C-alpha cells in the first residue's frame, strides 16, 4: 500500500497542506512543535479512522475552525487507486468516503490501509500496564480480521450494558442472562483468535529479537486469561458462560465486570523471565522493536497489502546500531514515514538501500526538500 498524496484542511496546526509522497523512506524533520507528529497522525487517522493521541475528534480541528478533513490518494499493492476522505465537523460529526462512496460503517474500512505505528509511548509496551498490550493486540487483529473487529465491537457493547446493569443494582435475571450470553459468545471468539495470533506472533518476535540482539535468546509471548489454556479443545464458550454467571453476585458488589477478555494480558518472556520484572532498558527497547516488526510481518502475511510504517520521533530513544538493524529487517519495505528533530539522523540511514525522501516542517507547513550534502 502506498500513499501518493495527502491533503489536509484545518487539521491540527495545518490550515492547508497538499503533499506528494512516493515509495521508500520519508524523513520528516523540523523543530519541536512544528507539526511532524500531526502528519503521521493524519495518515494513521485515514487508515484507522481514529487518532493515536486523542479519542476526541474535536481536538484535531485547527483553532477556532468548525471542521477538518484529511484526504489520501493510495495505490494498493495490486495497483488499484483508493481515494479516502475522512472529515469531521462540529455540526454534523464524522464522515468517511472511499472512492466517492459514503461508508455506512467505518469498521468495514478498517484493514484496507494496513498501518504500523511506533512512537515513544510504545517503548512502555513491555513494562507498562496490561491495557496497552491489549490495545496493541486489538489494533493488530482489527486490521487483519474483520470478523475479529465485529466480535470486539459486539463484546464491548454487551460489556457496557452489563456494567450499567451491575451498577444499577437491579437484579434482572433475564437481562443478565442475555448480556452474559452475548459476552460469552463474542468473548470466546475473541480469545480464540487472540491465542492463535499470539502463537504466530511469538515466533516472529523471537526471530526478530534474536536477530536484533545477535544472541540466541528464548523469547516468548503467552496469552493470559481467566480460562486456562489447558481447556483448549474444550469448550471456551461454555467456560465463559459459567465464568460470567459465577462471578455475577460478586460483581454486583463492585458494580463492574472483572473477568473476560477485556481484562486479559500478554506475558512477555525472555529466557523464561517476565520482561516487566527483569528486563533491562535495552532489552525492553529490543523487545518492543521486535514486537512492532512482528506486527508488520504479521499484517503483511495476513493481508494482500504491505503495511505503511510510521516511526514517530523514536530515534532519540534508540542508538544508531538498533536503528540500522531495525531498518535492515525491513529490507523490502513498502513505504515508511519517519519524524525526527535531529539532522544527524540522516547520517544514520545514509547507506540504507530504499529510496529516501526529505521533508521539512515549520509552523504548520510541510515542504519537500533535497537532502543536505556535506
Ligand atoms: N487543534 C489544534 N489546532 C491548532 N494547533 C494545534 C492543535 N492541536 C495541536 N496543535 C499544535 O500543533 C503543533 C504541532 O504539534 P505536533 O505535530 O505534535 O508537533 P511536532 O511533532 O513537530 O513536535 C503544536 O504546537 C501543538 O500545540
Ligand atoms: Mg512530535
pLDDT per residue as tens digits for the range 57-108: 999 999 999 999 999 999 998 899 999 999 999 999 999 999 999 999 999 9
Give the pLDDT confidence score for residue 347 in this predicted structure.
Answer: 65
- Asked whether residue 23 is assigned to any structural domain, the reply reads yes
CB 364 within 8 A of CB 33: no
60 CA: nearest ligand 1 atom: 1
A 10 A CB-CB count for 129 gives: 10
Where does the pLDDT of residue 333 fall: very low under 50, low under 70, confident under 90, or very high at 90 and above?
A: confident
Mean pLDDT confidence for 148-159: 98
On whether both 24 and 147 belong to a single domain, the answer is no
Determine which residue's CA is closest to atom 2 belonging to ligand 1: 12
Residue holding cell 513505504? 335
Q: Are residues 140 and 52 in the same domain?
A: no
Number of independent structural domains in the chain: 2
Residue among 44, 131, 116, 143 at smallest CA distance from 290:
116
Residue 36 CB less than 6 A away from ligand 1: yes
Instruction: Tell whether 131 and 101 lie within a shared domain.
Output: no
| Ligand nearest to C-alpha 67 | 1
Q: Are residues 133 and 109 in the same domain?
A: no
The answer to whether the beta carbons of residues 158 and 188 sit under 8 Å apart is no
> Residue 326: which pLDDT band, with cuts at 50, 70 and 90?
confident
Domain residue limits at 29: 1-114+303-374
The 219-224 sheet, strands edge to edge: 219-224, 265-270, 273-274
pLDDT in the model for residue 369: 86
What's the CA-to-centroid distance between 334 and ligand 1, angstroms? 28
Among residues 251, 281, 311, the one where a domain terminates is 281
pLDDT tens profile 213-253: 989 999 999 999 988 776 556 699 999 999 999 999 999 99
Q: Which atom of ligand 1 is nearest to the CA of 59?
A: 1
Nearest alpha carbon, ligand 1 atom 27? 33
Asked whether residue 215 is domain-assigned, the answer is yes
The four Cα atoms 195, 196, 200, 203 give a dihedral, to 10 degrees, of 40
Which 3 state secondary structure label does DSSP give 35? coil
| 150 and 277 part of one domain | yes
Is residue 295 in a domain? no
Tell whether 39 and 106 lie within a shared domain: yes
Are 154 and 258 within one domain? yes
Co-location of 156 and 272 in the same domain = yes
Ion ligand 2: residue ranges with CB closer than 5 A: 36-37, 313
Residue 374 pLDDT greater than 50, yes or no: no
Atom of ligand 1 nearest to the CA of 339: 21
Answer yes or no: is pLDDT of 323 > 90: no
* Domain final residue pick, 247, 281, 315: 281
- With the C-alpha atoms ordered 74, 77, 80, 84, is the resulting torsion angle positive or negative? negative
pLDDT at 212 over 50: yes
Same domain, 132 and 276: yes
Q: Please give the average per-residue pLDDT across 300-310, as a whole number.
A: 90
The answer to whether position 287 is within a domain reads no
Pocket of ligand 1 contains residue 329 by CB under 6 Å? no
Residue identified by cell 460489556 is 159
Residue 349 binned pLDDT confidence (cut-offs 50, 70, 90)? low
Q: Please give the share of the chain, as a percent, with pLDDT higher than 90.
A: 81
Q: For residue 243, is it within any domain?
A: yes
Q: Do residues 4 and 104 share a domain? A: yes
Mean of the per-residue pLDDT values of the chain: 92
The C-alpha R_g of the chain, in whole angstroms, comes to 22
HSE-CB at 202 with a 13 A cutoff on CA atoms is: 17
Q: Are 357 and 22 in contact (CB under 8 A)?
A: yes
Same domain, 21 and 90: yes
CA 32 to centroid of ligand 2, rounded, Å: 7
Is ligand 1 within 6 A of the CB of residue 32? yes
Ligand 1 proximity of 245 Cβ (cutoff 6 Å): no
pLDDT one-digit tens code per residue, 8-65: 999 999 999 999 999 988 999 999 999 999 999 999 999 999 999 999 999 999 999 9
Counting beta carbons within 10 angstroms of the beta carbon of residue 329, is it exposed (0 to 12), middle (13 to 18) or buried (19 or more)? Answer: middle
What CATH code is carried by the domain that includes residue 202? 1.20.1050.90
Q: Which among 144-153, 309-318, 336-345 has the top mean pLDDT?
A: 144-153
pLDDT for 225: 94
The residues, ordered by sequence, that sit 6+ positions from 137 with a Cβ below 8 Å of its Cβ are 194, 197, 198, 266
What is this structure's pTM? Answer: 0.95
Among 33, 45, 89, 316, name the best residue to mutate to test ligand 1's pocket (greatest count of ligand atoms within 8 A of Cβ). 33
pLDDT for the residue 102: 97
The answer on 203 and 108 residing in a single domain is: no
Does pLDDT of 373 surpass 60?
Answer: no
Phi and psi torsions of 36, nearest 5°: -70, -55
Ligand 1 atom closest to the Cα of residue 313 is: 21
Question: Would 286 be classed as within a structural domain?
Answer: no
Is position 335 within any domain?
A: yes
- Distance (Å) from CA 89 to ligand 1 centroid: 19
CATH value at residue 339? 3.40.50.300
Last residue of a domain, which of 281, 315, 334?
Answer: 281
What is the percentage of the chain residues whose pLDDT exceeds 70? 94
Residue 352 in this model has a pLDDT that exceeds 70: no
| 3 pLDDT more than 80 | yes
Task: State yes or no: pLDDT of 371 exceeds 70.
Answer: no
Nearest bound ligand to the CA of residue 61? 1
Under DSSP, the state recorded for 106 is G
Tens of pLDDT, residue by residue over 163-194, are 999 999 888 999 999 999 999 999 999 999 99
The answer to whether residue 122 sits within a structural domain is no
**247, 227 contact by CB (below 8 A):** no
Report CA 225 to chain centroid distance, whole Å. 21
**What's the CA gap between 72 and 80, in Å, rounded?**
14
**Other Cβ atoms closer than 10 A to 309:** 23
Amino acid at each position: 500500500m502506498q500513499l501518493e498524496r495527502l491533503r489536509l484542511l484545518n487539521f491540527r496546526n495545518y490550515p492547508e497542506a497538499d503533499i506528494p509522497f512516493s515509495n521508500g523512506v520519508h524523513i520528516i524533520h523540523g523543530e519541536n512543535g512544528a507539526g511532524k507528529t500531526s502528519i503521521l497522525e493524519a495518515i494513521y487517522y485515514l487508515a484507522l479512522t481514529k487518532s493515536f493521541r486523542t479519542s476526541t475528534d474535536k481536538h484535531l480541528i485547527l483553532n477556532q475552525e468548525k471542521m477538518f478533513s484529511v484526504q489520501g490518494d493510495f495505490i494498493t499493492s495490486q495497483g488499484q487507486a483508493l481515494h479516502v476522505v475522512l472529515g469531521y465537523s462540529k455540526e454534523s460529526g464524522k464522515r468517511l468516503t472511499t472512492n466517492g462512496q459514503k461508508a455506512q460503517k467505518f469498521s468495514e474500512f478498517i484493514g484496507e490501509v494496513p498501518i504500523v505505528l511506533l512512537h515513544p509511548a510504545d517503548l512502555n509496551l513491555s513494562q507498562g500496564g496490561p491495557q496497552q498490550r491489549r490495545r496493541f493486540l486489538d489494533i493488530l487483529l482489527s486490521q487483519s480480521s474483520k470478523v475479529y473487529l465485529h466480535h470486539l465491537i459486539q463484546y464491548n457493547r454487551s460489556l457496557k450494558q452489563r456494567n450499567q446493569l451491575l451498577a444499577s443494582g437491579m437484579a434482572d435475571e433475564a437481562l443478565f442472562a442475555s448480556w452474559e450470553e452475548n459476552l460469552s459468545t463474542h468473548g470466546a471468539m475473541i480469545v480464540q483468535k487472540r491465542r492463535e495470533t499470539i502463537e504466530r506472533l511469538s515466533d516472529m518476535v523471537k526471530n526478530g529479537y534474536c536477530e536484533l540482539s545477535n544472541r540466541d535468546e528464548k523469547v516468548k509471548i503467552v496469552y493470559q486469561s481467566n480460562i486456562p489454556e489447558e481447556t483448549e479443545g474444550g469448550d471456551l464458550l461454555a467456560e465463559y458462560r459459567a465464568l460470567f454467571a459465577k462471578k455475577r453476585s460478586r460483581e454486583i458488589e463492585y458494580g463492574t465486570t472483572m473477568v473476560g477478555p477485556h481484562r486479559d494480558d500478554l506475558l512477555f518472556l525472555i529466557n523464561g523471565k517476565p520482561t516487566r520484572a527483569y528486563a533491562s532498558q535495552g532489552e525492553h527497547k529490543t523487545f518492543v522493536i521486535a514486537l512492532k516488526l512482528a506486527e508488520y510481518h504479521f499484517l503483511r502475511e495476513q493481508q494482500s497489502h504491505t503495511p505503511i510504517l510510521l516511526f514517530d520521533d523514536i530515534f532519540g530513544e534508540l542508538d544508531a546500531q538498533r536503528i540500522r538493524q531495525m531498518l535492515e529487517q525491513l529490507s523490502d519495505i513498502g513505504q515508511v514515514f519517519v519524524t525526527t528533530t535531529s539532522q544527524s539522523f540522516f547520517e544514520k540511514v545514509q547507506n540504507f538501500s530504499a529510496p529516501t525522501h526529505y521533508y521539512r516542517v515549520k509552523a504548520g507547513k510541510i515542504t519537500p526538500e533535497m537532502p543536505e550534502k556535506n
